[in-house]
């Protein structure tokens, strides 16, 4: 089968298409014919080994997982003898980001994945490309919102509201009936408003830290802000939740003991099947929709990665594997 592989850390050029052996599912696994995956910031960071400490999980000298890719959507091609949830021909979507597992990822024509993994049947209304774009960003956003105790009426600001995690965070926060202030750039103001944001701040025109407003939660969905800059925008007892940045580890420890505004983590994120099923139910009910910026074929992996690394994508970038 065709797959994207890499044997060393480095720039996008370390990725190449190669013929590799098709995986054979074990007793508790299914074999998925991959139709679509995504290129996200985590996959790019793992490939580049940034930060360096990530090698403790991905492989010290070289990648443990030669075929990258965590999000997937496709059709079940075969099932192990102990599998009961899926049958051949089922359309499925999910995510499998477990870095210590050397099995090939989703940048391939086929992938073997445990039945118990965060994987479930696709919503009937979605294409493979739309389904592949959902799991990672939405599950990360859901975990962060639950970590801060999202509830009706809570005032939450989402910084980076037009990215993968951000577009999911806006929709999920509105589902939980929070009051959402979204921060994004000019081109995405109307998109973010259409996703349910109550207020939208264009960061090219206004710095939310200087507008005199305070929030119970500041959710940094792109890892570009900081607790230090956001502290004045938090109400007493407020919470800052990042999705990146090792300096936030120190802040989390410090604020646990000092002050009434705290940094909280949902890292490492928890990928659970029940959360993916919850997202599917929202989609089926018309309460959640995927946001896709661009789609690239497998052969254009370098272009796809370079675009994601501009840090200017809106929503998700999809990688199509099978027609």
Cis status, amide bond into 51, omega within 30 of 0: yes
Q: Which residue is listed with tokens 């000298």?
A: 61
Mean pLDDT rounded to a whole number for the chain: 92
Segment 274-291 shows an average pLDDT of 97
Q: Higher confidence at residue 216 or residue 270?
A: 216
d(CA 271, CA 98): 9
pLDDT at 257 over 70: no
Instruction: Judge whether 252 and 265 are in contact, CB under 8 Å.
Output: yes
Instruction: Judge whether 140 and 169 are in contact, CB under 8 Å.
Output: no
pLDDT at 251 over 60: no
pLDDT at 256 over 90: no
For the 2-134+290-320 domain, the top CATH level (class) is alpha beta
- Global pTM value: 0.93
Q: What is the reported pLDDT for 260?
A: 78
pLDDT at 79 over 60: yes
For the chain, the domains span: 2-134+290-320, 137-263
Segment 270-288 shows an average pLDDT of 96
Question: In 10 A of CB 30, how many CB atoms?
Answer: 25
Q: What is the reported pLDDT for 274?
A: 96
Question: In 10 A of CB 58, how many CB atoms?
Answer: 18
pLDDT, tens digit (0-9, with 9 covering 90-100), for 40-64: 988 898 898 887 877 877 888 888 8
Task: Give the up-direction half-sphere exposure of residue 67: CA atoms within 13 A in the CB hemisphere.
Answer: 25
Pick from 83, 76, 4, 1: nearest CA to 37: 4
For the 137-263 domain, the top CATH level (class) is alpha beta
Q: Which residues of 167-178 are buried (b: 16+ CB within 10 A; e: fewer)?
A: bbbbbbbbbbeb
pLDDT at 183 over 90: yes
If pLDDT is split at 50, 70 and 90, which confidence band does 226 have?
Answer: confident
- Give strand ranges (E) for the chain: 2-5, 16-19, 29-39, 71-79, 91-95, 110-114, 119-121, 155-159, 179-184, 199-202, 215-220, 234-242, 262-263, 292-297, 316-320
Segment 207-218 shows an average pLDDT of 94
pLDDT, tens digit (0-9, with 9 covering 90-100), for 99-157: 667 788 999 999 999 999 999 999 999 999 999 999 999 999 999 999 999 999 999 99
Instruction: Judge whether 209 and 232 are in contact, CB under 8 Å.
Output: yes
If pLDDT is split at 50, 70 and 90, which confidence band does 94 have?
Answer: very high
Instruction: Judge whether 297 and 320 are in contact, CB under 8 Å.
Output: yes
Structure tokens at 8: 């060393």
Segment 281-301 shows an average pLDDT of 97
Q: What is the reported pLDDT for 157?
A: 98
Percent of the chain with pLDDT over 90: 76
Measure Cα distances from 152 to 3, 19, 134, 180, 235 in Å. Answer: 45, 51, 24, 11, 17
Q: What is the reported pLDDT for 56?
A: 77
Q: What is the reported pLDDT for 252?
A: 56
Question: In 10 A of CB 92, how many CB atoms?
Answer: 20
Q: What is the reported pLDDT for 224?
A: 82
């Amino acid at each position: 089968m065709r797959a994207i592989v890499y044997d060393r850390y480095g720039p996008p050029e370390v990725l190449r298409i190669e013929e590799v052996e098709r995986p054979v599912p074990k007793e508790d696994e299914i074999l998925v014919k991959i139709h679509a995956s995504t290129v996200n910031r985590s996959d790019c960071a793992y490939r580049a080994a940034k930060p360096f400490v990530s090698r403790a999980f991905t492989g010290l000298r070289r990648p443990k997982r030669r075929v990258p890719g965590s999000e997937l959507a496709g059709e079940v091609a075969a099932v192990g003898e102990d599998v009961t949830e899926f049958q051949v021909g089922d359309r499925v979507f999910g995510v499998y980001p477990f870095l210590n597992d050397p099995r090939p990822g989703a940048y391939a024509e086929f992938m073997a994945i445990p039945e118990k993994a965060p994987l479930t049947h696709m919503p009937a209304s979605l294409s493979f490309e739309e389904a592949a774009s959902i799991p990672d960003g939405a599950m990360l956003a859901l975990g962060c919102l639950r970590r801060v105790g999202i509830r009706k009426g809570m005032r939450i600001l989402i910084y980076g509201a037009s990215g993968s995690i951000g577009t999911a965070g806006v929709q999920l926060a509105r589902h939980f009936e929070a009051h959402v202030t979204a921060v994004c750039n000019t081109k995405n103001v109307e998109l973010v408003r259409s996703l349910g944001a109550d207020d939208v701040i264009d960061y090219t025109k206004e710095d939310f830290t200087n507008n005199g407003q305070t929030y119970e939660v500041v959710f940094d969905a792109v890892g570009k802000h900081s607790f230090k800059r956001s502290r004045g925008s938090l109400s007493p007892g407020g919470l800052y939740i990042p999705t990146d940045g090792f300096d936030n580890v120190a802040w989390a420890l410090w604020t646990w003991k000092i002050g009434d505004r705290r940094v909280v983590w949902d890292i490492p994120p928890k990928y659970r099947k029940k959360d993916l099923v919850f997202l599917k139910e929202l989609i089926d009910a018309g309460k959640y929709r995927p946001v896709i910026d661009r789609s690239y074929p497998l052969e254009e992996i370098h272009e796809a990665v370079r675009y994601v690394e501009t840090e200017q994508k809106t929503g998700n970038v999809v990688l199509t594997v099978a027609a």
